[in-house]
Chain A
């Protein structure tokens, strides 16, 4: 596609429920990143994919967080048993090589 697409754009969920966030990167971009941004805060690195492999999962906050990428394209970030502190905007970014990243518009997650 023309840009990085994320869905849903907004998600309200009850505490304890599982959620899945989707990222559809720009076609051909091999690297894909997930970040989290709390209100008024900077970008917190979560996980990075090169192709379908995730060489760096160091940013995942807990074992309730997992992510996968299939076919070198779409990625899904799953949060199990959501907590209120998981509320944030989850941003996905992809890049073609050594140049700049293109970010999606994000998923705003609210845990109530």
Chain B
């Protein structure tokens, strides 16, 4: 299956600030999915991107799929303590998960 790389591995954010996490693949992806896992919880599906250059928003979260369909990003604005957790991207097929970006927030 496809290998996806996520950066950064850890993101420590001041409450109210913005941050972005990135997902990169060496091969073209037919789609990419994003999941959030709260501490002690299980991954929860957030969104799927399919089209080249697609941008989708969920409240303060903005997801983007690159033009070449090899990379994706998740941008969170005005970070809140509820954003704490690990964000995974995943390619299609047998769901090749990235290693995740673990986000902590300081109030």
The answer, yes or no, to whether B88 is at the interface (CB within 8 Å) is yes
Q: How large is the interface on B (under 10, 10 to 19, 20 to 34, 35 or more residues)?
A: 10 to 19
B43–A91 CB distance below 8 A? yes
Query: Which residues does chain A contribute within 8 Å of B1, judged by CB atoms?
Result: 45
Residues of A within 8 A of B97 (CB): 35, 42-43, 45
Whole-angstrom distance between the Cβ of B41 and the nearest chain A Cβ: 8
Consensus secondary structure, chain A interface: loop
Assess A43 versus B88: contact at CB under 8 Å? Given A100-B33, A103-B43, A103-B44.
yes
By a CB distance below 8 angstroms, the chain B residues around A98 are 31
A10 to chain B, nearest CB (A): 12
Binding site for B on A (CB under 8 A): 33, 35, 41-43, 45, 48, 56, 59, 91, 93, 98-106
- 24 A-B pairs within 8 Å (CB atoms) are namely A33-B94, A33-B95, A41-B99, A42-B88, A42-B98, A42-B100, A43-B43, A43-B97, A45-B1, A45-B94, A45-B95, A45-B97, A56-B94, A59-B94, A91-B42, A93-B43, A93-B95, A98-B31, A100-B33, A101-B45, A101-B95, A102-B45, A103-B43, A105-B41
Residues on B lying within 8 angstroms of A by beta carbon are 1, 31, 33, 35, 41-45, 47-48, 88, 94-100
